[in-house]
Structure 1
């Protein structure tokens, strides 16, 4: 018996073919929005604006495949996979896919094994809906046979897609369609503008926009009042400087006192000699680690970058003055350590541009202790000790380490790692609660590793200063457990929202240092404060930041803190300080021709 294939099931009715050709893109759009919200969140004009893009993609695929059957099947499955990828990204880092995530694919793949995706009935229904539409597409019966027609049609569709992308950034289109332009909350923007509309609209932010009133003359006028200070302390008396940016390290008690079986940071909480401790405000949550180290090492704030962008991947393409290059000029040996792949966030490319002499990555660790398949903080800190013991007697060491032990993916059971810190309320002990308990257990592991590092340097004669801070809090599925216990809602309470961007910082030394406490600070200021505590003269840029810090103790992509401690959205602050800072950030990062290099180093 001859085997049947799809051509025996083609729809013969021209009317039905026409109806399905028109309806399938509409249904696919609805399914795409259904991954994360409901399609009727879109207004009719915005729905139509999104539908135009779907129509262009379906038309291009039809010309490329030479038939509606092949083109519609491909496009439907393409959208299904794109929407599913966005669903996973939102679950992992609490924010949607943005255009520059294409640079992060290798980083995302390298850590994907440690994440679990919640498979809901709704998700299954949406995927089945896509599959059903793909099956229907296979029986559509319209073909484009002539190769010239196919090539010309595909080319026209590509040009139309380029035009669509350009017009989505046009102020007239934005105003006419009522598109949301508030980058402050990407999830809300995608909900209001649609997944495709939000994604395409963000393409215009692939480059940092020049601030209003920017010129080399304006920047020189700002910088002329700040000259790099000489370091009066002799090199032999300067301290070794150790900086640890600890992955997802945070103290969730910033939301309030919640019930827990035992203290998860007993050592850090007990430190009271030669130590500064406080709240560091960051620009990211649940991911985009590289943005926190960028802010710390450069002094530039993500407040002036496109939402969701990653400067390491998009903007750092040539040498840029940083904390590392400044210390290198003062005679320090500068080493960057990351116990994972060097390709993550392009660190192996960026670190030399920031002035690091040496880079150590995963392969430089011999049989290290691991937790959840990641190199542990204990092993990571031991590498710092190894570098210290290998250096020359007259050599000063600056190490900057970004850890991996606490990386996300807390709901997945890995190896013999189990929670030992428990939430002691009467909450249902479901997957998310267990994940939160595992996270808190990891915090205790970091605390113990930090204790061992401090105890080692307590015994050393050479002056040494150690700074540790978190890069961000864990994803929402962890913090939401604590918020539910405390009866808090980040979506309706601004204070709770801002608290999602607080991590601890701890600065300790094995010698007497000024321990005047700074309760609140953001990462762009933290490097300057470290230099000052180490007795190292500030750069002109760091002096500017120190003065601005008096007016605005913290500034991030999410908020600005006023001198009175009030926290507001950046868009609500009008200040000459902020305007000048924006110009300096642009000059430092983007202006290759007129960069005031000496001002930053």
Structure 2
């Protein structure tokens, strides 16, 4: 008898299969941490790394012991409710701690709101899984994964995740293999907090307690009738659970749709530093606020008639600003010669000497800066930083600025652009052959569909560069230039070629560049890994500079007229650390503006009629196309003439700001209520007037057709 009782007790104390399954993630997490440490992929000072690792190991160990004892706990729905609340708090902290890279800075009210969002999500999943903790546990894992994603985006791009990044997920995944995924102590702590949330979810088994599986069936009168009603009750319970889960999801959707987070909660995502905003308001709250800003705002005073009048007025301003004889000579020359037009958008190309020579006497790309026979050159204001190449591309090809589209918009993934005016269709109408080149996947940023809609005759992707030489992150610039030259040699027709290069793509901790090509700068304001990234990036710029020198040399030899437009799409992420160190305590706009500057030049291999000495001017990626065509007398659309007219009072514009003629920056936005623009006022008022007029023109030309 005693032996039988001991056997029964032993079986009761042995963990069930469900409990063993719940406990599996703990050794998996511990093993992952050991592997990460062994591979040297945990960064930070030794004391912090060791402290965080030991603390995480202790937490995971305790969680494992608690989970293994879950069979002794008699669950109830009331207990599950308390565990859900606690797990939601853990999920919110796991998300924020994982990526904050320092002290948790989310304001308490927003952290509480985020925990509320987590509660809705975990409750919905709990109910979808029919009141079992595994659904909530999956939710905790998702929140932790969101924190990890935020961490890696911040490390590699210096920004937070925006709604448009989700829309461009396929492109992000295609280049993700080029990054090194190092973590720090905050990530380890965030995962440990997620383990606590998982542990809490493992203790939820109100559904199991209610069903009392394994209990002997009742033997009584009416048992058969009861058995017949059981399936119906189960179906009703399933439907009820799913209905409440749908209500949870609906509550969140209703809040997102009907509550303006900017007005009601005071959440304003700072375009200059999205990560800082996310730190203050919380990742989910900030993400929703950014998503609510994606709608293209209808400018104040807009009507089609007013937009047409504004376009004509701005175009007249441009016409009045140029010498008519000079313009006529350039236009006559262009009509006769019809030069081929080659536009190179060079990946991550910029001159980092603008950061006070990096404090080490850096003078920038030597050849690029030595070119003294360009038509126009200068700094280029762009709307993206450390990524989002397609936005600079969109602005250049279409002439539309993200300054009127809302922060965080990626038009290539948001809109049908097949009816949008662009350089390819414009030059095709002049009987130019058109070709786009990008030595990577054609699906990146939906380029295959976009280019087809734009009217490009051909699109050359990585498939045409299978055996091409590689440097750093891909096919060399020179290999794409060889393809351009082959096309210029192979046809006498005028050509428009748009070349999006690849070799300088991030990340800059790949360690795959010949040490002899590195500059070996060791600025005292950067740590060892940041200095290594800086030197790797500068080696890429040097390589692009050498390839550009060779390319222009070959263009000089051509016995046919060619216009070259060369520009960088955005700066590299390493510039954020440099900017913070070299220019501390600046106002946000002044500080942030510097990171949204690249460089451009407009150069021709023939003498352009009416061209005098080189012009050095600031430009925007949205106005560069019009500026380049105007420099050689090409026919301009009314929209392009209006852009050039607006430049007289508003020299640059981007997603974040526009400038007046005194180089003062003014934040974009407020178009729905913007009023009081005075064309006869001070420079700021005149810039505001141009800003509003061009907004109405762009809304008429673009927004009316895509939304």
TM over 0.5: yes
1:216 Cα offset (Å): 2.0
State the distance in 1 between where 2:260 and 2:171 align: 37
Q: Deviations over 1:59-99 (max 9, x none)?
A: 11011112342122111111111221122122222222222
SS of the aligned residue for 1:118 comes to: coil
SS of the aligned residue for 2:558 comes to: coil
Q: 1:488 to 1:117 in 2, by over 3 A?
A: farther
Aligned residue among 299, 303, 308 for 1:211:
299
> What is the RMSD of the two structures over their aligned residues, measured on CA atoms?
2.8
TM-score, reference length from structure 2: 0.77
The answer on whether the counterparts of 1:376 and 1:404 sit within 8 Å (CA) in structure 2 is yes
State the distance in 2 between where 1:288 and 1:539 align: 27
The answer on whether the counterparts of 2:128 and 2:245 sit within 8 Å (CA) in structure 1 is no
The answer on whether the counterparts of 2:403 and 2:669 sit within 8 Å (CA) in structure 1 is no
Within 5 Å, give how 1:60-139 maps onto structure 2. 60-139=124-203
Within 5 Å, give how 1:512-527 maps onto structure 2. 512-513=607-608, 514=611, 515-527=613-625
Match of 2:98 in 1: 35
State the distance in 2 between where 1:350 and 1:266 align: 35
State the distance in 2 between where 1:446 and 1:197 align: 41
TM-score, reference length from structure 1: 0.90
State the distance in 2 between where 1:61 and 1:293 align: 41
The answer on whether the counterparts of 1:432 and 1:481 sit within 8 Å (CA) in structure 2 is no
Match of 1:19 in 2: 82
The answer on whether the counterparts of 1:33 and 1:195 sit within 8 Å (CA) in structure 2 is yes
1:421 Cα offset (Å): 1.7
Is 1:287 matched up with 2:375? no
State the distance in 2 between where 1:270 and 1:534 align: 22
Aligned residue among 229, 243, 248 for 2:348:
248
State the distance in 1 between where 2:193 and 2:557 align: 65
Q: 1:150 to 1:179 in 2, by over 3 A?
A: farther
State the distance in 1 between where 2:502 and 2:360 align: 24
Higher relative contact order, structure no. (Cα contacts within 8 Å, ≥ 6 residues apart): 1
State the distance in 2 between where 1:268 and 1:234 align: 26
Q: 1:104 to 1:74 in 2, by over 3 A?
A: same
Q: Which has the higher helix share?
A: 2
Is 1:267 matched up with 2:355? no
Aligned residue among 593, 601, 605 for 1:498:
593
Is 1:584 matched up with 2:697? yes
Q: 1:205 to 1:158 in 2, by over 3 A?
A: farther
Match of 1:436 in 2: 534
Match of 2:6 in 1: none
Q: 1:390 to 1:266 in 2, by over 3 A?
A: same
1:47 Cα offset (Å): 3.2
1:376 Cα offset (Å): 0.8
Farther-moved stretch of structure 1 (448-457 vs 146-155): 146-155
- Which of structures 1 and 2 has the bigger CA Rg? 2
1:530 Cα offset (Å): 0.6
State the distance in 1 between where 2:242 and 2:503 align: 48
Farther-moved stretch of structure 1 (370-379 vs 547-556): 370-379
The unaligned stretches of length 5 or more in structure 2 are 1-10, 20-68, 212-233, 320-326, 671-683
Match of 1:598 in 2: none
Aligned residue among 148, 163, 170 for 2:236:
148
SS of the aligned residue for 2:622 comes to: helix
Aligned residue among 449, 460, 473 for 1:360:
460
The answer on whether the counterparts of 1:169 and 1:201 sit within 8 Å (CA) in structure 2 is no
State the distance in 1 between where 2:301 and 2:372 align: 47
The unaligned stretches of length 5 or more in structure 1 are 596-601
1:202 Cα offset (Å): 3.0
Match of 2:70 in 1: 9
Q: 1:36 to 1:375 in 2, by over 3 A?
A: same
Is 1:543 matched up with 2:605? no
State the distance in 2 between where 1:172 and 1:311 align: 23
Match of 2:489 in 1: 389
SS of the aligned residue for 2:563 comes to: strand
The answer on whether the counterparts of 1:264 and 1:447 sit within 8 Å (CA) in structure 2 is no
